């Protein structure tokens, strides 16, 4: 992280050089998001190493500082992040979510520094999305991401937008403390091993083309570099729960496609990946159908279903995976009220052994500067050979109260 910061600092200095010499004042803005979270674990933990605590309080801060000039065509953004968790020393952590200079030029845009980039269309699994590392201590859905240092160039044209990424520094995935809930009773070593002798300094490269062709939104991408998913190796003969993450060098080609028609969104994400033993393919395909204005109200009800396939061999050459032959069913209720209330409920079911992850996410605004979020995740019917079994007694629900300053 320290060397990552050095790269960022260099990038920001570069950006600062292009600041106007006082001719036109840059516009500054500073905001803060402050969240307090309470997680409730109704069951006693499965592993002796885990603390038996029902209530897990934590707090996070996410300030955002921006400065822009040239009518917004140049922009500096700094978004630090910190969480303090009473029961999980690894979840107590800090990150730079964003620290970058954006320049919108004539026929291109350029980002230098740490940024977050999302690719993809599906809801239940994000296969194609590969630029940022998951901040996995935040939530098991892996949707929280660590800032990724990069130089990103995007060039729009009549034939779509081509984007090029050079990522000089790799971020290791975060894992919960062994003593905490959702750790599976395992300790993941903070000293990772790598395929590349340059380790976390291997320069990763990616290129993406995305375009809208009528009712189709299509993206094609290729990534060459350090896998964001680690293999967890049992190198400690004395303690098989002491795991060492190993990051392979991989090549991943991805396709994301959405066909939008009437109230239907048809979605496909597919990848081919080489570098963990045999080359394999994986895909997520499904739909979201929305019933607008149900029962004469302003509410919308969305119905979602996706099939998840992953062809990797599970013999240790590739990182473990949950969604290898699974089906996701979900429903999204949007109230369209003044408080933007919404609810997403879903289940991912393993088609072979019936192991099920149940999820519920709900949110609404309170007044102008508060928001409340509720999350529940239940690990149901977990088969002994399914990786979900490690979480079986860590069902939880959480309530987060957020204040915006």
Nearer to another protein, 24 or 340 (CB): 340
28 touching another protein, by CB under 8 A: no
Nearer to another protein, 40 or 366 (CB): 366
Residue of the chain from 5, 193, 196, 260 that contacts another protein (CB under 8 A): 260
Minimum distance between the CB of residue 95 and another protein, rounded to whole angstroms?
15
Minimum distance between the CB of residue 144 and another protein, rounded to whole angstroms?
9
How far apart are the C-alpha atoms of 352 and 385, rounded to whole Å? 11
Residue of the chain from 154, 233, 362, 380 that contacts another protein (CB under 8 A): 154
The answer to whether 79 touches 114, Cβ cutoff 8 Å, is: no
Nearer to another protein, 128 or 192 (CB): 128
Task: Count how many residues are written for the chain.
Answer: 405
Provide the terminal-to-terminal Cα distance of the chain, rounded to the nearest Å.
Answer: 28
Minimum distance between the CB of residue 298 and another protein, rounded to whole angstroms?
5
Residue of the chain from 82, 94, 263, 325 that contacts another protein (CB under 8 A): 263
Nearer to another protein, 131 or 186 (CB): 131
167 touching another protein, by CB under 8 A: no
Subset of 88-127 contacting another protein (CB under 8 A): 102, 104, 107, 109, 116-118, 120-121
Identify which range of 11-19, 196-204, 257-265, 324-332 contacts another protein by CB under 8 A: 257-265
How far apart are the C-alpha atoms of 176 and 229, rounded to whole Å? 15
The SS3 call for residue 201 is helix
Give residue for tokens 């209720």: 333
53 touching another protein, by CB under 8 A: no
Residue of the chain from 236, 239, 298, 314 that contacts another protein (CB under 8 A): 298
Residue of the chain from 258, 308, 342, 359 that contacts another protein (CB under 8 A): 258
65 touching another protein, by CB under 8 A: no
Nearer to another protein, 28 or 292 (CB): 292
Q: How far is CA 36 from CA 54, 59, 86, 402, in A?
A: 17, 4, 12, 7
The answer to whether 111 touches 70, Cβ cutoff 8 Å, is: no
The C-alpha R_g of the chain, in whole angstroms, comes to 22
Task: Write out the DSSP string of 48-67.
Answer: TTS---SEEEEEEEEEEEEE
Neighbours of 155 (CB within 10 A): 14
Q: How far is CA 370 from CA 32, 66, 87, 321, 363, in A?
A: 12, 22, 26, 37, 11
Nearer to another protein, 217 or 251 (CB): 217
Task: Write out the DSSP string of 235-246.
Answer: --TT-TTEEEEE
Minimum distance between the CB of residue 365 and another protein, rounded to whole angstroms?
6
Residue of the chain from 349, 365, 383, 401 that contacts another protein (CB under 8 A): 365
Neighbours of 260 (CB within 10 A): 15
Nearer to another protein, 136 or 402 (CB): 402
292 touching another protein, by CB under 8 A: yes
265 touching another protein, by CB under 8 A: yes
Cβ burial of 364 (10 Å; 0-12, 13-18, 19+) is middle
**How many residues interact with another protein (rule CB under 8 A)?**
45
Subset of 178-237 contacting another protein (CB under 8 A): 210, 212, 217
Q: What angle do CA 358, 307, 348 make, to 5 degrees?
A: 10
Closest CA to 190 of 90, 93, 91, 96: 90
Q: Can you name the residues that pair with 269 across neighbouring β-strands?
A: 256, 284
The answer to whether 322 touches 387, Cβ cutoff 8 Å, is: yes
Minimum distance between the CB of residue 359 and another protein, rounded to whole angstroms?
16
287 touching another protein, by CB under 8 A: no
Nearer to another protein, 5 or 260 (CB): 260
Identify which range of 177-185, 224-232, 287-295, 310-318 contacts another protein by CB under 8 A: 287-295
Nearer to another protein, 29 or 314 (CB): 29
How far apart are the C-alpha atoms of 303 and 346, rounded to whole Å? 10
Binding stretches for another protein (CB under 8 A): 31, 33, 68, 72, 75, 102, 104, 107, 109, 116-118, 120-121, 143, 154, 156, 161, 163, 210, 212, 217, 258, 260, 262-265, 290, 292-293, 298, 300, 336-340, 365, 367-369, 371, 402, 404
């Amino acid at each position: 992280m320290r060397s990552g910061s050095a790269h960022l600092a260099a990038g920001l200095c570069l950006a600062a050089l292009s600041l106007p010499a006082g001719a036109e004042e840059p516009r500054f803005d500073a905001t803060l998001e402050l969240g307090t979270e309470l997680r409730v674990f109704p069951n006693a933990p499965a592993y002796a190493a885990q603390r038996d605590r029902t209530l897990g309080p934590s707090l996070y801060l996410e300030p955002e500082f921006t400065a822009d000039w040239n009518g917004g065509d140049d922009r500096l953004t700094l978004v630090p992040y910190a969480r303090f968790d009473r029961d999980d020393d690894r979840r107590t952590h800090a990150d730079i979510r964003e620290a970058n200079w954006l320049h919108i030029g004539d026929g291109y845009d350029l980002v230098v520094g740490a940024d977050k980039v999302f690719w993809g269309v599906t809801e239940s699994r994000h296969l194609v999305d590969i630029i940022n590392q998951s901040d996995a201590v935040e939530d098991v859905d892996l949707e929280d991401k660590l800032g990724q240092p990069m130089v990103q160039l995007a060039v729009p044209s009549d034939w779509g937008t081509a984007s090029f990424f050079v990522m000089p520094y790799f971020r290791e995935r975060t894992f919960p403390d062994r003593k905490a809930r959702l750790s599976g009773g395992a300790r993941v070593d903070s000293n990772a091993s790598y395929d590349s002798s340059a380790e976390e300094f291997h320069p990763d490269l990616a290129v993406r083309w995305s375009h809208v062709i009528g009712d189709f939104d299509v993206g094609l991408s290729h990534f060459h570099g350090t896998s964001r998913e680690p293999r967890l190796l049992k190198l400690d003969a004395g303690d098989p729960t002491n795991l060492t993450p190993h990051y392979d060098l991989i090549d991943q080609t991805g396709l994301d496609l959405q066909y939008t028609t009437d109230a239907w969104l048809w979605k496909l994400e597919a990848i081919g990946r080489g570098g963990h033993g045999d080359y394999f393919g994986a895909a997520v395909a499904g739909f979201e159908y929305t019933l607008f204005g149900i029962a004469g109200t302003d509410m919308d009800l969305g119905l979602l279903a996706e099939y998840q396939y992953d062809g990797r061999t599970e013999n240790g050459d590739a990182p473990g995976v949950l969604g290898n032959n699974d089906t996701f069913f979900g429903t999204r209720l949007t109230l369209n009220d003044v408080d933007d209330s919404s609810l997403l409920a879903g289940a991912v079911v393993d088609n072979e052994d019936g192991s099920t992850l149940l999820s519920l996410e709900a949110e609404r605004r309170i007044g102008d500067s508060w928001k409340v979020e509720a999350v529940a995740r239940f690990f149901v019917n977990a088969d002994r050979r399914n990786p979900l079994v490690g979480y079986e007694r860590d069902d939880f629900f959480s309530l987060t109260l957020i204040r915006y300053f």
